[in-house]
Structure 1
Amino acid sequence: MASLNVGNLGEYLREQRRNAQLSLRQLADAAGVSNPYLSQIERGLRKPSAEVLQQVAKALRISAETLYVRAGILDETEREELETRAAILADPSINERQKQVLLQIYDSFRKENAAEAAAADAGTDAVERPTT
């Protein structure tokens, strides 16, 4: 897990709020947080919880995972995996059984690729290490 980067998060939140044409007070009301608290988050003075980030993301109509990545709570690959899973689960054109099978296949491919990457790294390490 990366360290919290609240300054970058605050700048990003301010930019998203302005793009949504919301005042600080409007966003605070919509997210259910206090105006001063949201202001402190935007200025990089506070470290919001995942729950607060989720509320703010919902109010801004953006991905909570994106805010988690910006805050250092989640790394980029975890976000991509969560978004893929969410897209599969949200697809109305396939039934629940099909969704579960698709997620199992997705998991098996990820595990297979991780194992191959680990094996390749192990092979590279073995070549790079001099024997004594």
Structure 2
Amino acid sequence: MAKGKVSKSVEGLGDYLKEQRVKARLSLRQLADLAGVSNPYLSQIERGLRRPSAEVLQQIAKALRISAEQLYVRAGIVSPEEGSHRVVAGSVELAILGDSGLTERQKQSLLDVHASFLALNRAAENSAADESRPTQP
């Protein structure tokens, strides 16, 4: 892997995005404007130097008029499995981000609540595991 690259999946995502952008006959600047991201940031994504969030991928997909799910697969967020897609990580987060009936503030609030519940559950599991360990004399 070339120095400075994030990972092969991100590099492949960047190549795919550039290919889709060229097919759509959009300049880097035009796509950045349509997707609501900065030109340098989009350039870094295309070169495999940055890993975009699911939300940014959704914005880019909308601007390119392609399936966000395709970008999630390319980014390694979603895994293709027997013709359907199974979410590998972040299914709740993706559902929240993909809900067009929510405002950005509502989405962020839901994501914060979800993250706090997960942290509480992890803390409770760790506490229970600590209590079940035998103590050393």
Please say whether Structure 1 and Structure 2 have the same fold, judged by a TM-score greater than 0.5: yes
* Residue-by-residue CA offset, 1:41-81 (whole Å, 9 max, x unaligned): 00000000000000000000000000000000000139825
- Taking only aligned residues, the RMSD between alpha carbons, in angstroms, comes to 1.9
The 1:20–1:33 alpha-carbon spacing in structure 2 relative to 1, beyond 3 Å, is same
**2:78/2:85 contact within 8 Å kept:** no
Q: In terms of Rg, which structure is larger?
A: 1
After TM superposition, which residue ranges in structure 1, 4 or more long, deviate above 4 angstroms?
none
Matched, 1:13 2:14: no
Residue in 2 aligned with 1:54? 58
Matched, 1:69 2:80: no
84, 90, 94: which one aligns with 1:80? 84
Q: TM-score, normalised by structure 1?
A: 0.57
Distance 2:42 2:53 in 1: 12
Q: TM-score, normalised by structure 2?
A: 0.55
Q: Percent identity?
A: 74
Matched, 1:35 2:39: yes
**2:73/2:79 contact within 8 Å kept:** yes
Amino acid at match of 1:43: R
- Name the structure where helix makes up a greater proportion of residues: 1
Higher normalized contact order (CA 8 Å, seq sep 6+, divided by chain length): 1
